[in-house]
Chain A
Amino acid sequence: MSHDPAEMSEDDERPPPADRGRAEYADQVLENVLENVLVFLTCRRDRNSVSLVCKSWCRAEALTRSELFIGNCYAVSPARATERFERVRSVALKGKPRFADFSLLPPDWGAHFAPWASAMAGAYPGLEKVYLKRMSVTDEDLAVLARSFPRFKELALVCCEGFGTSGLAVVANHCRQLRVLDLIESEVTDDEVDWISFFPDGGTSLESLIFDCVECPINFDALERLVARSSSLKKLRLNRYISIGQLYRLMIRAPQLTHLGTGSFSPSEIVQQGDQEPDYASAFAACRSLVCLSGFREIIPDYLPAIYPVCANLTSLNFSYANINAAQLRSVISRCHKLQILWVLDSICDEGLQAVAATCKDLRELRVFPIDAMENNEGPVSDVGFLAIAEGCRKLQSILYFCQQMTNAAVVAMSNNCPDLMVFRLCIIPRYRADRITGEPMDEGFGAIVKNCKKLTRLAVSGLLTDRAFSYFGQYGKLVQTLSVAFNGDSDMGLKYVLEGCSSLQKLEIRDSPFGDSALLSGLHHYYNMRFLWMSSCRVTRRGCREIARQMPGLVVEVFSWNNNAQDRGEENDIVETLYMYRSLARRVDAPKYVEIL
């Protein structure tokens, strides 16, 4: 005779008093079940969706999220993040906008790790992993990490600056469970501290030690002893102060390595003919698990044959510091049938690229960097090598290519041959350069890429581009998330096409292009969906930026001023040098004087 709750009125959502206890208990069970299920959910986009279902799900998701990713450190305050997510074991933080890499962001702009370090020190005693990209990290911050997290295991600092060898010493010494210490493309000050010696005696848990960007000498004996007592070490990337002789000594102690950065790859003194040198090739041969090779910072090409034994297994090869010619490259690359990732200098010429195309049928990612970054009429690589790659490497997913000359035909060819392309970054070094053969703008080439490469998510353009190119981007680039524009376009229409058409756009960085207020204002419907917009040396005025700020309170609109004086900001109709705006739940409190927040 008891009521069946299911038969109760549909309009009455709350159970009658007698049944409320049961319903609350049911809620609690549901939440527990949910938590146990959500623990398995790792993809952060899925988690974001889950958290939107209802408050209960939001709570459960927040309690079970162990990996926190913050794509813009100024999008949320450390306090707010740590309040919502209580049980975090791994944090990834990104700071400065990418154009900071090219000296377009004035110094001391921000992205300080310190407030995050102190917030996490209190909130996440169990923190194990920290990944920072383009953050300003001090030695003191590293000390906070080392002191506050007894279970700390992995530290990766990518494109960071502000710390030195003393900070590294503290981490090495205090983090007794350290598995990963990766310093990648970061600037590390030489405070003359022998940080390698600060790792504790006895066995370590080190699995990855990457310090190829550290521009100061290392205590080699200490390093050798460290490698000898790190039986789990799989990834070791040495800096250029390590000679090939020293490399040899390390390799014979660590044949289990999978990733090796070879340091200078040249001897420390001049080696005469007939000198006894170690059998480098045998050391490489002994590393049967080696799949990723980099370094070669001061390579003497005579030593290249030493790596032949590992070529057949290599999936990743970074020659981007190796000034080698086509023949030298060919001697290596012809053996690398499994290669998926290749970074090279354009010293290899079109011919070298042809060799790559002939052998590396599995290539997924190619980056070709310029030795000479000046604008020239000709360069060692061109549309010829590009076309060879397009025809030979059909599985290509990601390309970054610097050259002096390009043709639409070659780019169109790649768009047709490489349907898996997700990242297309072509940098024609001379600004406003047209198609080498036809003299036309590069519109059709880049247009073909967005049209034919259906998986394209990242695009960087260059050369002579009219608004037509941008109309293609807007029309076809529905999955494009990141777009980089430099010295392109004719008018506001260009930017309008992109803002109105590219519905997945998250990151837009533009420099030296004639886009103004009218274009800027055409993106109002979309800016909350984006991580950031950067415009420098364009035509937007303070008035236009202020209008954005007025209409979109959820954005932080930063304008960099001419002088440091707060009183002397400039007129409303003045063109702003740099606009950097991003969605945010917080106000910046640490902006330097030259940043004006509208």
Chain B
Amino acid sequence: MEVGQKRVNMLGEDETELRLGLPGGGGDHVAAKNGTHTAKGSYNGKRGFNETMDLKLKLSSKETAAATVDEGKDLPKERNLLGGSGDSVKPPPAKAQVVGWPPVRSFRRNILAQKSSTGGHEDAAFVKVSMDGAPYLRKVDLKMYKSYQELSDALGNMFSSFTIGTCGSQGMKDFMNESKLMDLLNSSDYVPSYEDKDGDWMHVGDVPWEMFVDSCKRLRIMKGTEAIGLAPRAMEKCKNRS
């Protein structure tokens, strides 16, 4: 409807320019009005700079898991939009998703997403995630992700608020730089590892994704210095299994 259209544009040119995201969600309404795909999960107060990371991720690659940052507990539809699984899901709506709209509290969105659509009692693959130095654990449902990349992005967002502390005063600027954060998490500074069914600690990423989901019992993001020696065992196990 014409009036509606006008309204969207009425908010001024300065509203449509892309800006750095305010920690926690400022610039994203802006991006949304541009029609870019801001599929946004909502977040809880503990995770910081979520939306900032989303904005950066979008700039670098539209297909990455911007929507799965909400600890992975998104509605299946949102994931399909990104994963491009090709089933009969509508294409992304012209009006992009906006932060905090509609005003449904995050735990209501999350909880429903945890249910399986078959109505049966399907086990989710919840594992505890701890990060060395972080004050508390988180939990993720591995079945909510389709790849290591999605999991890595979600973990990055989940623990981003803790890495701020380690960044120092320079850290704020660095932190706003997505690649630097990803470097931090992907670099030798932090190594994601997991405990498998046999109780061994393995390097995340060494086995195919499905095998990982089946065998992972818990995740630990450890400091690089402690992760030496994990990789070779992973490869051996892989050979033994195949």
Contacts and interface: CB of A to CB of B under 8 A. Distances in A.
A185 interface: yes
Given A103-B25, A161-B46, A429 B102 contact: yes
Interface stretch (B9-17, B194-202, B219-227): B9-17
A161 B45 CA distance: 8
Interface residues of A, number: 75
A564 B98 CA distance: 23
User: Dominant SS at the B interface?
Assistant: loop
Given A103-B99, A562-B20, A300 B121 contact: yes
Interface in A179-209: 185, 187, 189-192
B160 to A, nearest CB: 10
A564 B42 CA distance: 22
B115 interface: yes
Contacts of A100: 45
A336 to B, nearest CB: 23
A291 interface: no
10 contacts: A102-B104, A107-B45, A190-B136, A270-B120, A298-B115, A370-B104, A375-B93, A375-B97, A441-B3, A577-B22
Interface in A327-351: 345
A402 B172 CA distance: 39
A216 B127 CA distance: 11
Nearest to B117: A323
A161 B139 CA distance: 16
Interface stretch (B106-114, B146-154, B178-186): B106-114
Contact of B11 (A104, A371, A376, A514): A514
Most chain B CB within a 10 A radius of its CB, from A373, A560, A565: A373
Interface of A: 99-108, 136, 161-162, 164, 185, 187, 189-192, 213, 215-216, 240, 266-270, 297-298, 300-301, 320-321, 323, 345, 369-376, 402, 427, 429-434, 439, 441, 464, 484, 486-487, 490, 511-512, 514, 537, 539, 560-565, 575, 577-578, 594
User: Dominant SS at the A interface?
Assistant: loop
A13 B3 CA distance: 69
A576 to B, nearest CB: 10
A264 to B, nearest CB: 9
B37 interface: no
Interface of B: 1, 3-4, 7-8, 10-12, 14-15, 19-20, 22-27, 29, 40, 42-48, 51, 75, 77-78, 93, 95, 97-109, 111-112, 114-115, 119-121, 128, 136-137, 139, 161, 172
A104 B25 contact: yes
Contacts of B15: 537, 575
B102 A427 contact: yes
Contact of B46 (A187, A376, A514, A539): A187
A577 B43 contact: no
Contacts of A375: 93, 95, 97
A321 B111 contact: yes
Given A323-B115, A372-B77, A373-B109, A106 B14 contact: no
A373 B104 contact: yes
Contacts of B8: 432
A136 B14 contact: no
Contact of A594 (B23, B44, B114): B23
Contacts of A594: 22-23
B168 to A, nearest CB: 13
Given A104-B25, A560-B22, A539 B93 contact: no
A107 B107 contact: no
Given A374-B77, A430-B95, A575 B14 contact: yes
Contacts of B10: 514
B48 A108 contact: yes
Q: List 10 tightest A-B contacts by C-beta distance, closest first.
A: A106-B24, A102-B100, A432-B4, A577-B26, A107-B48, A103-B42, A429-B102, A189-B136, A537-B29, A103-B100
Contacts of B137: 189-192
A375 B96 CA distance: 9
Contacts of B103: 101-102, 427, 484, 486
B22 A402 contact: no
B49 to A, nearest CB: 8
